[in-house]
Amino acid sequence: MNILILNGPNLNMLGKREPGIYGSESFEQIMEELRAAFPSHSLHYFQSNHEGAIIDRLQQCLTDGTQGLVANMGAFTHYSYAILDALRLLSIPKVEVHLSHIFAREAFRHTSVISPACDGMISGLGKYGYQAAIAWLLQVQQKSTEH
Ligand code: DQA
């Protein structure tokens, strides 16, 4: 399966950024683990600190063969209606992931404006959230080929 893992602002700082909340590993290390866990699938990774670049990458999914999306939109989660609209363009399965437990943090993090455009959300499981999201995407694809 062709899966895009899309990370938003400040997630390029993982390992350096508030390690007590986000862990001490870089996302490159996490990607290595994900590729090792799902060796027969194509896991593509894109990170940007820029809303427009994220929207461009989402629009590309319409034509580049992406079959599933795992999206951690960082702080854009809480206010970007433009990313919500871009997610709504895509009919592939989409999972929203947050490393931290956003509902146990500051009030502004309790709202996700992008959730309505995703099939589900995983929050608070750290890097394992990405693994769980990919495992779910794979079983959705498997089910769709059974019929
Ligand atoms: C985050 C949670 C957001 O509130 C925050 O702005 C992030 C990371 C997470 O993965 O826990 O940048 O999406």
Q: What is the pLDDT of residues 57-69, one digit of tens each?
A: 999 999 999 999 9
Residue 43: domain span: 2-146
pLDDT attached to residue 145: 87
Q: Is the CB of 41 under 6 A from ligand 1?
A: no
pLDDT attached to residue 146: 87
How far apart CA 100 and CA 18 sit, in angstroms, is 11
Strand 94-98 vs strand 68-72: parallel, antiparallel, or unpaired? parallel
Q: Is the CB of 10 under 6 A from ligand 1?
A: yes
Substitution candidate for ligand 1 out of 17, 70, 102 with most atoms within 8 A of CB: 102
Q: What is the pLDDT of residues 3-57, one digit of tens each?
A: 999 999 999 999 999 999 999 999 999 999 999 999 999 999 999 999 999 999 9
pLDDT attached to residue 110: 98
Q: Is the CB of 72 under 6 A from ligand 1?
A: yes
Specify the number of domains making up the chain.
Answer: 1
Residue 2 pLDDT > 80: yes
Q: What is the pLDDT of residues 94-104, one digit of tens each?
A: 999 999 999 99
Q: What is the CATH number of the domain that holds 23?
A: 3.40.50.9100
pLDDT attached to residue 147: 66
